[in-house]
């Protein structure tokens, strides 16, 4: 808005200035609200993860190869133990035992996955 020093021109500059200040103020408010919201979400996520860390357990067991078959020498390396379709996973130790760590409280179907043997889910 151009003015030549008339009252109407000054009024136009004043209105334009107020609109620009309000727009800047609104952007600052949005940024501040976003910052507060983002900080709150970080704190909330941290508290939730801290709260859940105390309720985690371990599933332990032992897997044996089928007795009627000659065991493949790599069966321990090739075999994996999992729950929830692989969401929680464990691997076999040399003696066939396993542990699945950091499992929340609940009921789970434990699956043994092997390319050489078929195991029933337990």
Q: Edge-to-edge, what's the strand order for the sheet holding 80-83? A: 88-91, 80-83, 110-113
Higher pLDDT, 41 or 59: 59
**pLDDT-derived band at 16, boundaries 50, 70, 90:** very low
Whole-number average pLDDT of the chain:
68
**Long-range contacts of range 65-73, CB-CB < 8 Å, 24 or more positions apart?**
65/96, 65/117, 66/117, 69/117, 72/116
* The overall pTM is greater than 0.75: no
User: What length does the chain have?
Assistant: 122
Least confident of 24-38, 92-106, 108-122: 24-38
């Amino acid at each position: 808005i151009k003015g030549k020093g008339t009252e109407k021109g000054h009024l136009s500059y004043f209105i334009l200035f107020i609109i620009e200040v309000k727009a800047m103020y609104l952007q600052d408010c949005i940024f501040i609200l976003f910052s507060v919201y983002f900080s709150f979400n970080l704190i909330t996520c941290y508290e939730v993860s801290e709260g859940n860390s105390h309720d985690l357990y371990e599933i332990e067991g032992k897997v044996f190869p089928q007795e009627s078959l000659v065991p493949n020498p790599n069966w321990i390396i090739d075999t994996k133990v999992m729950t929830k379709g692989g969401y929680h996973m464990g691997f076999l130790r040399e003696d066939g035992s396993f542990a699945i760590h950091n499992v929340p409280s609940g009921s789970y179907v434990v699956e043994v996955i092997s390319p050489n043997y078929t195991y029933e889910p337990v």
